[in-house]
Chains A and B, each alone.
Chain A
Amino acid sequence: MIAVLRLIWLVPLVPFLGAAALGFAGRWLSRRAVGVVACGSVALAFLLSIAAVGALSGDLAGLAGAPGMSVDPGARRVTVHLAEWLAVGGPGGVSAAWRFLLDPLSAVMILVVTGVGLLIHVYSIGYMAGEERGYARYFSFLNLFTGMMLLLVLGANLPVLFVGWEGVGLCSYLLIGFYYTEEWCADAGKKAFLVNRIGDMGFLLGALSLFTAVGTLDIGSILNGAAAGQAAGGGVTGRVALAASLLLFAGAIGKSAQIPLYVWLPDAMAGPTPVSALIHAATMVTAGVYMVVRMGALFAVEPLALGVVAGIGAATAVYAATIGCAQTDIKKVLAYSTVSQLGTMFMGAGVGAFGAAIFHLVTHAFFKALLFLGAGSVIHALGGEQEMGRMGGLRERLPITYACMLAGALAIAGVIPFAGFFSKDEILWGALSTGRVAIWLVGIGGAGLTAFYVFRLIFLVFHGEARDPALAEHAHESPRLMTVPLIILGLLSVFGGWIGAPKVLSLGGDWNRIGHWLAPALAPAEGALRAAGHSAAGEIGAMIVSLILAGAGIGLAWGFYRSHPEWLERFTARFDPLVRLARAKYHVDEAYGRLFVQPYFTLCRTAREFDARGVDGLVNGVWRAVDVAGHFGRYVQTGFVRNYALYLLIGAILLLYWVLP
């Protein structure tokens, strides 16, 4: 059993093999075989993850001194050395090896990635059944995406992490632009890739600045250096830590779609809906949160770095929620919801509640995958319709989808005892208990807005009369391949939160399993920050406030979209400019277009003109000169032998004249 820890590198490798098999041989496989290979590889990775995490939670003492591994039983940290890579300067020099790190943090991540990823793979078989082209291509990319994410979370040094980091960016490009014959889909893929590249540049600079300062790229050594620097004033000094953590955070901003680089995520809706679920829940956007938590001890060196993380997270949380309230496309609402929820996670990490951030990442993976797959089920039932203005009254026609999405909505709104409540409140309590009242206020504001827009979605889609009866008439519940993953995710959204129930709600026990599980991995980062006193009364008070706000949000949505439509009319009339601004996404895309895209195009056009006129002109000038010279020179060639003899004579005479004294 414990030997599986030595094979931890198989977890990302198996989906890679699946992707390779489907990518190279997929066209000769039947659809059934494609589905089996795709789901089988992820299922195998999931089983391996379970076995590895089981072994990790057991007694690790027996592994001490095993070849190719280093084990720290106290911190539950296992590092497996697979092969050398980028070795420079011999044994004492620098090397970035294929090393894999399994500790409680990456254990949680691989379980989420493979578990939720598996459900999305299964769902995709049903969702993509009607697809005529690219069936194997789709599943190949899906497998590659999962593998890259696993590589990212298991990488023990920054280069390996970076391979996964770039890999998920590539896969998001491939999958968002899956319908590449549609120009806007291909454009959305490019946008995602390019915006991510901006952040990736920051990540790379951060990693290299750490390398210059510490002389290693191994994550453990860097974090030890940061901790030592904190203690002794050496190692990673404050300024280096600040610069490096802000640069790394720039990468996280790009990957996890925070202000100002969130613009790619809403456009990522161009891909098939299960891809959105995969991007938003299991892979890709959670990478930024994971990386910040993983490097938590580095961020903790300078309070300013964590302050920036918390500030940007809180701002994004409430900002994206306001846009989500005004969107009419069902997937756009969920996309902005993800941006907002990721902001909440960064807010948690920024106030030092790293465990709460990861806990929210897990529960968010459950309910956001559920909401997206549910939205996919609705879109599937309506033959591709995404406008909520044409839906309505689907409750009876899609009972399973409705029940599951309702569970997801309650979870994201933070209603007790659904999953989102526990994780969100742990983050909010983390902010309040460390005295960051402003962050807390923004956080509960965002939570109220979240409850509003998600129930706006539920009421618009499932309740009331069908706005487009012709469309609703043909609606039918999705096949079982799609509903079973929905039901599993629904159960996880209902009960998944109890793995992290706070102590005050544990009826005298202590049910915060995930907190205790993560504690050894996060202790270096959280240690300094979580010294604040714990007040049970305060915690319960904060919970009541956020529950009231969630209730208010749901009630307002009920009022606006069910019981009193005239309220909505009066509200939109009163705040017309604001509503229109939010519906237009605050014109940020247009502003970026003016500020960056257009000037860049102008630069490109100038460069093209310079190339066409300057560089090409030079080259063309050379051949024109030769052409003209030849044009006149050719008259010398008369073809008459005696002329040539005369030239010879003249040449000989001139030569003699020159040679003779």
Chain B
Amino acid sequence: MSLFWILLLSAALFTIGVLGVLLRRNAIVILMAVEVMLNAANLTLVAFARHLGSADGQILAFFVMTVAAAEASVGLAIVLAAFRLRRSVDVDAFNRMKW
């Protein structure tokens, strides 16, 4: 499989993630979309690692996964707290931080 197709897949996944973040209103779905974006980046890293014959990209992908796990736990905690406050996980309900 050539690098091109893998990168194309990665870009598609990233775009899906971005659109998910921008368009969806459910906070949990937004978090999932963020995970998709992170994994798209991981895919790119691994693809380049294989293409260049170096382990660096793969190692970096592990770090990203760790960070993503931490991010998911913090994000879910915030969503839970927000839900307790408003009985909703609709992000448009949380628009008080403005002028």
Please determine whether B99 and A642 come into contact, CB atoms closer than 8 angstroms. Answer: no
Give A633 Cβ to nearest chain B Cβ, in Å.
9
Q: How far is the CA of A635 from the CA of B98 in the complex (A)?
A: 9
Give B7 Cβ to nearest chain A Cβ, in Å.
14
| Residues of B bordering A, CB below 8 Å | 18, 21-23, 25, 30, 91-92, 94-99
A603 at the interface (CB under 8 A from B): no
From the candidates B18, B92, B99, name the one contacting A640 in the complex (CB within 8 A). B92
Contacts of B96 in A (CB 8 A): 639
Please determine whether A646 and B22 come into contact, CB atoms closer than 8 angstroms. Answer: yes
Told that A638-B98, A639-B96, A642-B25 touch, could you supply 17 new A-B pairs with CB distance under 8 A? Answer: A634-B98, A635-B99, A637-B97, A637-B98, A638-B95, A639-B94, A639-B98, A640-B91, A640-B92, A640-B95, A641-B91, A641-B94, A642-B21, A642-B92, A645-B21, A646-B22, A649-B18
Chain A residue nearest to B95 in the complex (CB): A639
Contacts of A635 in B (CB 8 A): 99
From the candidates A634, A639, A642, A646, name the one contacting B97 in the complex (CB within 8 A). A639
Please determine whether A642 and B91 come into contact, CB atoms closer than 8 angstroms. Answer: yes
Chain B residue nearest to A633 in the complex (CB): B99
From the candidates B22, B25, B99, name the one contacting A649 in the complex (CB within 8 A). B22
Q: How far is the CA of A635 from the CA of B9 in the complex (A)?
A: 37
Q: How far is the CA of A394 from the CA of B92 in the complex (A)?
A: 100
Q: A634-B99, A637-B99 are in contact. Are A642 and B94 (CB under 8 A)?
A: no
Q: Which of B18, B22, B92, B98 has the most CB of A within 10 A?
A: B98
Please determine whether A645 and B99 come into contact, CB atoms closer than 8 angstroms. Answer: no
Give A522 Cβ to nearest chain B Cβ, in Å.
85
Chain B residue nearest to A634 in the complex (CB): B99
Contacts of A640 in B (CB 8 A): 91-92, 95
Chain B residue nearest to A642 in the complex (CB): B22
Q: How far is the CA of A293 from the CA of B64 in the complex (A)?
A: 95
- The 8 residue pairs across chains A and B that have the minimum distance between CB atoms: A639-B98, A639-B95, A634-B99, A637-B98, A641-B91, A645-B21, A640-B95, A639-B97
List 13 A-B residue pairs with CB atoms under 8 Å apart, sorted by A's residue number: A635-B99, A637-B99, A639-B94, A639-B95, A640-B91, A640-B92, A640-B95, A642-B22, A642-B25, A642-B91, A642-B92, A649-B18, A649-B22
Contacts of B91 in A (CB 8 A): 640-642
* Residue total for A at the interface (Cβ-Cβ under 8 A): 11
Contacts of A649 in B (CB 8 A): 18, 22
- Taken residue by residue from 621 to 647, chain A's Cβ proximity to chain B (1 for < 8 Å, 0 otherwise) reads as 000000000000011011111100110
Give A502 Cβ to nearest chain B Cβ, in Å.
95
Contacts of A641 in B (CB 8 A): 30, 91, 94
Q: How far is the CA of A637 from the CA of B97 in the complex (A)?
A: 8
Q: How far is the CA of A361 from the CA of B97 in the complex (A)?
A: 84
| Residues of A bordering B, CB below 8 Å | 634-635, 637-642, 645-646, 649
Give B91 Cβ to nearest chain A Cβ, in Å.
5
Give B83 Cβ to nearest chain A Cβ, in Å.
15
Contacts of B97 in A (CB 8 A): 637, 639
Chain A residue nearest to B98 in the complex (CB): A639
Contacts of B18 in A (CB 8 A): 649
Q: How far is the CA of A642 from the CA of B22 in the complex (A)?
A: 5
Q: Which of B21, B91, B96, B99 has the most CB of A within 10 A?
A: B99
Give A649 Cβ to nearest chain B Cβ, in Å.
6
Contacts of B92 in A (CB 8 A): 640, 642
Chain A residue nearest to B91 in the complex (CB): A641
Give B88 Cβ to nearest chain A Cβ, in Å.
14
Q: How far is the CA of A646 from the CA of B22 in the complex (A)?
A: 7
Give A628 Cβ to nearest chain B Cβ, in Å.
15
Give A642 Cβ to nearest chain B Cβ, in Å.
6
Contacts of B25 in A (CB 8 A): 642
Q: How far is the CA of A641 from the CA of B21 in the complex (A)?
A: 9
Chain B residue nearest to A637 in the complex (CB): B98
Q: How far is the CA of A33 from the CA of B25 in the complex (A)?
A: 88
Contacts of A637 in B (CB 8 A): 97-99
Contacts of B94 in A (CB 8 A): 639, 641
Contacts of B23 in A (CB 8 A): 642
Contacts of B95 in A (CB 8 A): 638-640
Q: How far is the CA of A201 from the CA of B97 in the complex (A)?
A: 64
Chain A residue nearest to B18 in the complex (CB): A649
Q: How far is the CA of A649 from the CA of B21 in the complex (A)?
A: 10
Contacts of A634 in B (CB 8 A): 98-99
Chain B residue nearest to A644 in the complex (CB): B97
Q: How far is the CA of A79 from the CA of B5 in the complex (A)?
A: 106
Contacts of B99 in A (CB 8 A): 634-635, 637
Give A653 Cβ to nearest chain B Cβ, in Å.
10
Q: How far is the CA of A649 from the CA of B92 in the complex (A)?
A: 19
Give A647 Cβ to nearest chain B Cβ, in Å.
11
Q: How far is the CA of A645 from the CA of B22 in the complex (A)?
A: 7
Contacts of B21 in A (CB 8 A): 642, 645
Q: How far is the CA of A87 from the CA of B69 in the complex (A)?
A: 74
Chain A residue nearest to B25 in the complex (CB): A642
Give B24 Cβ to nearest chain A Cβ, in Å.
8
Chain A residue nearest to B23 in the complex (CB): A642
Give B20 Cβ to nearest chain A Cβ, in Å.
10
Contacts of B30 in A (CB 8 A): 641
Give B32 Cβ to nearest chain A Cβ, in Å.
14
Give B1 Cβ to nearest chain A Cβ, in Å.
25
Contacts of A638 in B (CB 8 A): 95, 98
Chain B residue nearest to A635 in the complex (CB): B99
Give A648 Cβ to nearest chain B Cβ, in Å.
9
Chain B residue nearest to A631 in the complex (CB): B99
Chain B residue nearest to A641 in the complex (CB): B91
